[in-house]
Amino acid sequence: MAFCKALGDFLWGGPLLAAFLVVGLWYSFGSGFFQLFGLPTWWRTTVGSLFRGKADRGRGKGVTQLQALSTALAATIGTGSIAGVATAIVYGGPGAVFWMWMSALLGMMTGCGEKILAVRHRERGADGRWQGGPMQYMEKGLRLPWLAKAFALLCVGETLAGGNLAQANSIATALSAAGGVNPMAAGVVLAAVTAVVLMGGIKRIGKLCELLVPAMALLFVGGGLAVIAANAQAVPEALRQIVQYAFAPRAAAGGYAMGTALRYGVARGVFTNEAGVGMSAIAHACADVDEPAEQGMWGIFEVFFATMVICTVTALVILTSGVYDPVKMLPLAEGGAAPDGLLGAPLTVAGFATLFGEAGEWIVSVSLILFAFTSLVGSGYYGRRGVETLTAARWAQGLYQLVFPAFIILGAVVDVTAVWQVVDVFSGLLAAVNLPALLLLSPEALYLLRSWLEGRKKKSENWGECT
């Protein structure tokens, strides 16, 4: 595992973080910072369509746009949104939140490009349903089938590690702590339920995620906003700390440096929205939509919601509730002596408990379980698509259908501390493959975006003339 740790530290210590920022800036400049100046357009296309009932209407064998988004969010919003953000604040300080926001701001356009390309280069599967993702735009757009297979292989590995073992362990641990449930029993039941859902394909997965994702988001965000509201007087100070520590000199807080905040903030932003990693594009490619750029709007919203909403709520709960003091914690974290009871999910639980007491643990635990379960389901679908890209052999696909639930049981009962090092490697390598592809295909993605926007403008002008 020493090799995995060294490789993960190298990937996320500089080169990869720079690549994420460069690709995000490239798409942002190329689109005229559409994520900011085009906010009314992408907001009406996404959230606005929900009120018009457009996003939840399926027209064919694919899934609705809302189901595609829910599936992508299901695999994206996992334990990283609760435990990961808390850990980033402990080791990276409040300033990590600022850089998490900045990475998300740029990642909104990276995510947009991914979804545009995924829909542009998707294809019909044997069942007549849409399927696509980085594998397809690497093979058809770049004409590099070997790169597509490399991405597919890494995708399978990541879904078995971070998308499976780590999430299953989080669920079993939460059930054991909150209700005394036996981890093995929890793993067996979880494996059976997940297998049944995955057997139903993208349609069943989409329907389940469409039901669970809004529910879990409402529970966690609602509870978090209540805590923040109860500590409203501390919000200005929390925001001040976020900005101050984002640019703090090394002399501040016992050796803490701006680079530390940048490293943890950008890495956490990437982990929580996956913009640039590419896997969520697999879900978006299944949507019943005609215009690739229209699905790109949902890619922008996905990053916005996963990081700017969910992760921000987690961060402000921690920073306003009084359970975290950067002056005391940062020197401890710098020396590797951060208390275990204030690392990861326990820190978020402590924040919720300041308002809800013991019920706060249940809110976080139930949210964690729902987040992790939907991540399991979404990752299972991504992994199966990876196998299908590698080989058309039915035995290989059947084997994955057996291996994935088996890994769930394994993850429920073993110590997966070292697994996170493997997850870092797989996620980093996926991004290392996907980011250059996004850069090379950016002229096509940006052209499709501009063409769609011009078409919308002409329709609006024609409608105005008719009225």
Cα 236 to Cα 230: distance, rounded to the nearest angstrom: 13
The HSE-up count of residue 352 (CA atoms within 13 Å, CB side) is 25
**Beta carbons of 320 and 235 less than 8 angstroms apart:** yes
Single-letter amino acid, residue 299: G
Domain ranges of the chain: 10-456
Identify which of 162, 161, 167 has the alpha carbon closest to the alpha carbon of residue 194.
167
Give the DSSP letter of residue 285.
T
Cα 461 to Cα 467: distance, rounded to the nearest angstrom: 10
Neighbour-count burial of 232, counting CB atoms closer than 10 A to its CB (0-12 exposed, 13-18 middle, 19+ buried) = exposed
Q: Is 249 left (phi over 0), alpha (psi -120 to 50) or beta?
A: beta
Cα 118 to Cα 274: distance, rounded to the nearest angstrom: 15
**Where do the DSSP E strands lie in 75-161?**
123-124, 130-131
**Phi then psi dihedrals of residue 200, to 5 deg:** -80, -5
Q: Is 123 helix (H, G, I), strand (E, B) or coil?
A: strand
CB contact set of 461 (below 8 Å; sequence gap of 6+): none
Residue 124 burial (CB count, 10 A): 12
CA dist 248 → 91, 137, 162, 240, 334 (Å)? 14, 41, 32, 12, 15
> Which pairs with CB-CB distance under 8 Å and at least 24 residues apart come from 254-258?
254/330, 254/331, 254/334, 255/331, 255/334, 256/93, 256/330, 256/331, 256/334, 258/95
Pairing of strands 123-124, 130-131: antiparallel
Cα 137 to Cα 188: distance, rounded to the nearest angstrom: 37
Residues forming beta bridges with residue 287, ordered by sequence position: 63
**Beta carbons of 267 and 428 less than 8 angstroms apart:** no
**Beta carbons of 261 and 99 less than 8 angstroms apart:** yes
For every residue of 61-86, DSSP letters joined together read SSB-HHHHHHHHHHHHSSGGGTHHHH
Cα 362 to Cα 343: distance, rounded to the nearest angstrom: 18
State the architecture of 10-456 in CATH terms: Up-down Bundle (1.20)
Identify which of 421, 118, 389 has the alpha carbon closest to the alpha carbon of residue 278.
118
Q: Is 131 helix (H, G, I), strand (E, B) or coil?
A: strand
Q: What is the pTM of this model?
A: 0.85
pLDDT at residue 255 in the model: 46
pLDDT at residue 372 in the model: 77
**Beta carbons of 134 and 151 less than 8 angstroms apart:** yes
Give the DSSP letter of residue 138.
I
Chunked into runs of 10 residues, the chain (467 residues) has average pLDDT values of 72 79 93 94 84 55 64 64 77 84 91 94 82 92 94 90 78 74 86 82 70 79 93 93 76 52 68 81 85 91 88 92 79 62 73 86 79 80 89 86 88 72 81 94 96 82 55
